[in-house]
Amino acid sequence: MDQIMLNKYDEMLFTPGHRACPGCGATIAVRAILEATGPDVIVVSPTGCLETFTAQYPYSPWGVPWLHVLFENAAAVASGVEAALKKRGLSDKIKVIIIGGDGGTHDIGIGALSGMLERGHNVTYICYDNEAYMNTGVQRSSATPVGASTATSPAGTQSWGKERPKKNLPAIVLAHGAPYVATASIAYPKDITRKVKLALSIQGPKYIEVHSPCPIGWGFDSAQTIELAKLAVQTGLVPIYEAYQGQPIKVRKIPKRVPVIEYLRNQKRFRHLVEGQGDQAHLALIQAIADENIVHYGLV
Amino acid sequence: MVKGKLSVMEGSMAIAQAVKVCRPAVISAYPITPQTHIIEFLAQMVANGELDAEYIRADSEFSAASILAGASATGVRTYTASSSQGLLLMTEVIYYLAGTRLPVVFTGANRQITAPIGLQPDHQDTMSFRDAGMIELYVEDVQEAYDTHLQAFKIAEDHDILLPVMVCMDGFVLTHVFEPVKTFDQEDVDAFLPPYDPIHYLTPEKPMVFGSGSDEVNTMEFHYMNHQAVLRARDKIEAVAREFEDAFGHYRGGLIDTYATEDAEVILVAMGSVIGTLREAVDVLRGEGVKVGLVKVRSFRPFPAEALRQAISHTGAVAVLDRALSFGYQGILATDVKTALYDAPQRPLVLGLMVGFGGREVNLDTVREIVQRTQRALDTGHVPNEAEFIGLKTEIMPHFPVVA
């Protein structure tokens, strides 16, 4: 039996046994991504949750070659991997992808990402967006949604949590002229796989942002990861769309809209907004963001 | 048969030519101010089809070093050049390269660090990598810079070493000067420097993890292995210099170089382009009957402690000319020289002298003053200051309390 299990693991590109928290959204994303890439891929990751829970020497769940350098340079490192593969005549055979969190992507790594996009490297950058620096103790990132309480944007008598809206990185990537930009959610793993496959078939830099709930950082029951991810999409707060050559090609429609309060009330990071009578003014502001997304992205 | 062709060229061009015949697969650079012409010449060589390399124009020096980390981990030969602020911006990556044993070769064209901002050479920039786990070689002229780049790839990529190597050459004084340089044919360099043969690299055929985390269980062992690799480079640097001599007919290399030290009562110790001036000064002062000698420290890391002990411990006093300062203590090279001498059976006096900051000229008068100070210390048996600033213009500074 043990041998059968071992043989099974040998063929897996991402094995169980890593150190992710129960209910981690990022691991669902990783499995869906590797389903699309197959074994002929080199994965680059910046420092972050994924790096921490998959690469503690001498253990690793990776069944594909994997490279971590620093926090803020995954896009530059992947550019170098791609250049070396080109020189070795392996560009057609081996794909280069990045899997990184929102901290390494939206914030400290955005300079390197911009460089990679501008130079036009044939790399697919996938960000698992769990909306804060989870690995280091849930500090706010620029991808943290407005109103969320984090370790560095705590709600208090003088604050309602993070006071700035989420950075729209897909739009920034689109402005670089990247040929393929998409958003996705771990609520729909098959959609992630399809989008990564499509991205890999396109030459040039591609960007996919995967919304990935974090039970620890957001404060919800770890059995509810998928449900919560679905709710986020159904409210309109997380629009799922894709664009090819700068033009929208597909949008995930929301058959039945859910008020944002239904999504917010299950998470400790928004508790200060929903408890008691509720912070109606700020709840209305968050609802307005969802309403705007519905119109802007054509979600209904 | 005599190999090589002698021609006059700019220092930066000589380095570009050296790098070209070493056949790097990936070059990445960012022309932050200050830079040198090296990366521009290499860009032109690639554009002309003379050099078959991937040349990545990075968005910063930090990204340039990161790009080479990725390329080196993918199993190819890599190169970059930078200076000053650019090198500092690469720092985080350089520590990673050493710890992950990726043999990237750098030219460190020495220039002053901000603040104040400036373009002229001193050693504050490259000496900040003292503890990064890499190899650093300092050269005195353009020919040595050319030769050392050929040797650097061979040292870096040796399976017993596998470390980043930085060839440090003074900015402007060596990078922008025109000197006669003997350059070598591609086939001769190919015979000396075989293609990079990586042991570990990223490939789906044998999936491997680069850049793991480690903690109290294994980190000390990783550091010990890195330390051992830098120490092993002591023999390797000497061996490669001898191989270079066999291949090309002249010896330019090794850990240190000595000049007129045997009977010297005063020995000057320094690194970089000032060595040329010091050789001349030694000749002049010897002509005047002063028993002065010179030691060039060529390998700063690994530090040639034993070679230095043998070269200088017999003398009366040593004057270390430092172009980099550990603020609040003393000159960085002086500190290392003193540490090396602690284990010597007989210890000369050591004077730490600050010179050449921001490219300030070191000439015969400077050397005279240094030798006189050293002789005075020898007479009194006493070194007045741990760090003596030569030619300090006290009249232009505002009044403040001075401490010894």
pLDDT in tens, A73-96: 999 999 999 999 999 999 999 999
Q: Do B181 and B243 reside in the same domain of the chain?
A: yes
Pairwise CB contact (< 8 Å): B66 & A73:
yes
| pLDDT the model gives residue B329 | 96
Nearest to A241 by CA among A165, A163, A171: A171
What's the rounded mean pLDDT across residues B268-291?
A: 98
Percent of chain B with pLDDT over 70: 100
- Give chain B's domain count: 2
Looking at residue B323, which CATH number applies to its domain?
3.40.50.920
* Its pTM surpasses 0.95: yes
Distance CA A81, CA A43 (A): 10
| pLDDT the model gives residue A1 | 47
The answer to the question of residue B147 being in a domain is yes
Chain B residue numbers touching A67 (CB-CB < 8 A) = 70, 73, 202, 209-211
The answer to the question of residue B194 being in a domain is yes
The answer to the question of residue B403 being in a domain is no
Looking at B248, B269, B304, which one is the last position of a domain?
A: B248
Residue B1's pLDDT band, with cuts at 50, 70 and 90, is low
The answer to the question of residue B404 being in a domain is no
The answer to the question of residue B25 being in a domain is yes
Chain A residue numbers touching B223 (CB-CB < 8 A) = none
b/e sequence B313-334, b meaning 16+ C-beta within 10 Å: bbbbbbbbbbbbbeeeebbbbb
Chain B nearest CA to A59, separation (Å): 9
Question: Side-chain half-sphere of B167: how many Cα atoms within 13 Å?
Answer: 34
For residue A205, pLDDT beyond 60: yes
For residue A6, pLDDT beyond 70: no
Chain A residues whose C-beta sits inside 8 Å of any chain B C-beta = 39-42, 44, 51-52, 55-58, 60, 62-70, 72-73, 76-88, 94, 111-112, 114-115, 118-119
In chain A, the residue whose alpha carbon lies closest to the alpha carbon of B23 is: A87
Are the CB atoms for A225 and A23 separated by under 8 Å? yes
What's the whole-number average pLDDT of chain A?
Answer: 96
ipTM of the complex: 0.96
Nearest beta carbon to residue B209 from set A41, A60, A86: A60
| pLDDT the model gives residue B237 | 98
For residue A4, pLDDT beyond 90: no
Q: Model confidence over B123-142: pLDDT tens digits?
A: 999 999 999 999 999 999 99
Q: Do B233 and B282 reside in the same domain of the chain?
A: no
Percent of chain A with pLDDT over 70: 97
Looking at B248, B266, B292, which one is the last position of a domain?
A: B248
Instruction: Please tell me if residue B221 touches chain A, with a CB cutoff of 8 Å.
Output: no
In chain A, where the domains are located: 2-297
Looking at B248, B272, B287, which one is the last position of a domain?
A: B248
What's the whole-number average pLDDT of chain B?
Answer: 97
| pLDDT the model gives residue A9 | 74
Q: Is A15 exposed, middle or buried (0-12, 13-18, 19+ CB in 10 A)?
A: middle
| B 195-214 residues with CB < 8 A to A | 202-204, 207-214
Distance CA B79, CA B175 (A): 17
For residue A5, pLDDT beyond 70: no
Q: Do B185 and B48 reside in the same domain of the chain?
A: yes
Q: Do B207 and B261 reside in the same domain of the chain?
A: no
Pairwise CB contact (< 8 Å): A79 & B202:
no
Are the CB atoms for B53 and B46 separated by under 8 Å? yes
Looking at residue B231, which CATH number applies to its domain?
3.40.50.970
Q: Do B194 and B211 reside in the same domain of the chain?
A: yes
| pLDDT the model gives residue B2 | 72
Q: Do B381 and B349 reside in the same domain of the chain?
A: yes
Nearest beta carbon to residue B54 from set A73, A86, A111: A86
Are the CB atoms for A206 and A122 separated by under 8 Å? no
- Topology of domain A2-297, CATH: Rossmann fold (3.40.50)
In DSSP terms, which residues pair with B181 in a beta bridge? B7
| pLDDT the model gives residue A10 | 74
Nearest beta carbon to residue B68 from set A52, A80, A119: A80
What's the rounded mean pLDDT across residues A15-42?
A: 97
| pLDDT the model gives residue B404 | 74
| pLDDT the model gives residue B194 | 98
Chain A residue numbers touching B74 (CB-CB < 8 A) = 42, 80-81, 84-85, 88
* Mutation site for B-interface testing, chosen from A18, A57, A95 by largest number of B Cβ within 10 Å: A57
Helix (H, G, I), strand (E, B) or coil at A212: coil
Q: Is B182 exposed, middle or buried (0-12, 13-18, 19+ CB in 10 A)?
A: middle
Q: Do B328 and B294 reside in the same domain of the chain?
A: yes
What's the rounded mean pLDDT across residues B194-207?
A: 97
Least confident of A8-22, A79-93, B167-181, B281-295: A8-22
Q: Model confidence over B18-49: pLDDT tens digits?
A: 999 999 999 999 997 778 999 999 999 999 99
Owning domain of residue B366: 256-396
Nearest beta carbon to residue B56 from set A39, A41, A119: A119
Distance CA A113, CA A78 (A): 10
The answer to the question of residue B401 being in a domain is no
The answer to the question of residue B332 being in a domain is yes
Nearest to B267 by CA among B323, B313, B324: B313
Instruction: Please tell me if residue B67 touches chain A, with a CB cutoff of 8 Å.
Output: yes
**C-alpha pair distances (Å), A166 with each of A186, A298, B311:** 19, 19, 64
